[in-house]
């Protein structure tokens, strides 16, 4: 937390500057979606983050980037080989085995094929896999989910890779327990967590099962032919969130039973995901699901601003005391109108 640019009422924010610094440039990239107006804040802390001190902002500029035209999604998959954390004054050290990493690699390869097949080629997926040697040493906590990995917990390990590449979604694959430590880290019945974002890019947790004999991430024709299901599920949460933010009325991803689907042996919820992705769920004589447009609605990234257009009429810094006073009055009027 620290001095940052953010959008009021959302989790959208720039990187934060803390400590004593000289002048430096910071930027916030965001997708306006179907919003006609946003309130941009230049502030300390914000949205669950607290900070104190003095921050100075100047030389404001707003730019409009290019569109998001293609349906080829790029995924970054970070496998954290070691988890080394202290929970309730007890140190817990967990390591992935070679078999763990091999299983995850195989599952990610299956996920690449499934996003294309289940969507009936409405999208494609390419996954870059990174094995992270630096231990995961921070976890976040939530009453509903227990311990999990938030974007800020791994920012130092992933930010350079994300900045150097155009990724549309991030998976963080972790081990938070095994047979020996299964009761030491509180995890409230989840194997994957989605609907988070890292500076506008979808961000999901994929947790390895505590049982080394589990077939969750292993293909087996008699037990599990859809081991990539949790990857698909958490990614679909991001598409679900995007569709709703654009104003589409779609069914909730978890409501498969309401529409007559089952969690079936061997294939899990594969039939539900297929119909969900192709808008083929029957409901009251209509077909519902994700709109086909959602596959082109990717996060805003640096590459969208290669040929940016500066919007000088949308964002003007006061240049004298009179303009500063006028701006303060206008802001007060807007706030009063919002309250009314």
Distance of CA 249 to the CA centre of its chain: 21
Rounded CA-CA distance 137/79 in Å is 14
Q: Tell me the pLDDT tens digit for each residue of 5-21.
A: 988 888 788 888 889 99
pLDDT, mean of residues 179-200: 86
37 — pLDDT class (breaks 50, 70, 90): confident
Cβ(70)–Cβ(121) under 8 Å? no
Q: Mean of the pLDDT values across residues 48-64?
A: 85
Q: CA nearest 278: which of 263, 260, 264, 294?
A: 294
pTM of the model: 0.87
Phi then psi for 158, rounded to 5 degrees?
-115, -15
Confidence of residue 47 (pLDDT cuts 50, 70, 90): low
The predicted model gives 323-328 an average pLDDT of 83
Contact 27, 13 (CB under 8 A): no
pLDDT above 80 for 252:
yes
Q: Strands 192-198 and 201-207, how do they pair?
A: antiparallel
pLDDT digits (tens, 9 = 90+) for 268-299: 999 999 999 999 999 989 999 999 999 999 98
Whole-number Å distance between alpha carbons of 270 and 204:
19
Q: Which phi and psi angles does 238 have, rounded to 5°? A: -65, -40
CATH 1.10.720 fits 72-296, yes or no: no
Going by pLDDT thresholds of 50, 70 and 90, the confidence category of residue 68 is low
For the chain, give every domain's residue range.
Answer: 3-64+308-339, 72-296
């Amino acid at each position: 937390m620290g001095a940052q640019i953010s959008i009021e009422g959302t989790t959208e924010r720039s990187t934060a500057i803390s400590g004593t610094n000289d002048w430096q440039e910071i930027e916030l990239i965001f997708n306006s979606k179907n919003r006609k107006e946003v309130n941009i804040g230049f502030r300390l802390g914000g949205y669950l983050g607290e900070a104190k001190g003095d921050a100075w902002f100047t030389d404001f500029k707003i730019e409009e980037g290019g569109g998001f035209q293609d349906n080829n999604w790029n995924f970054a998959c970070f496998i954290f080989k070691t988890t080394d954390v202290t929970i309730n004054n007890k140190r817990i050290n967990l390591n992935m085995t070679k078999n763990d990493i091999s299983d995850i690699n195989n599952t990610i390869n299956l996920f690449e094929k499934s996003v294309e097949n289940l969507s009936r080629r409405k999208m494609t997926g390419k996954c870059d896999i990174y094995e992270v040697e630096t231990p995961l040493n921070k976890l976040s906590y939530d009453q509903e989910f227990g311990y999990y990995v938030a974007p800020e917990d791994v920012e130092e390990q992933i930010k350079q890779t994300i900045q150097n590449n155009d990724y549309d979604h991030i998976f963080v694959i972790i081990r938070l327990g095994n047979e020996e430590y299964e009761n030491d880290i509180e995890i409230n019945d989840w194997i994957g967590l989605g609907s988070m974002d890292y500076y506008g890019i979808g961000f999901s947790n994929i947790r390895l099962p505590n049982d080394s004999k589990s077939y969750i991430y292993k293909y087996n024709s008699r037990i599990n032919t859809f081991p990539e299901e949790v990857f698909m599920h958490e990614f679909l949460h991001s598409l679900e969130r995007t569709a709703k933010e654009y104003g589409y009325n779609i069914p909730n991803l978890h409501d498969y039973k309401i529409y007559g689907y089952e969690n079936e042996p061997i294939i899990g919820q594969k039939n539900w995901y297929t119909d969900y992705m192709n808008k083929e769920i029957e409901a009251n004589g209509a077909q519902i699901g994700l709109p086909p447009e959602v596959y082109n609605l990717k996060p805003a990234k640096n590459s969208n601003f290669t040929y940016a257009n500066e919007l000088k009429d949308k964002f003007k810094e006061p240049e004298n005391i009179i303009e500063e006073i006028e701006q303060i009055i206008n802001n007060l009027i807007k706030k009063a109108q919002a309250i009314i």
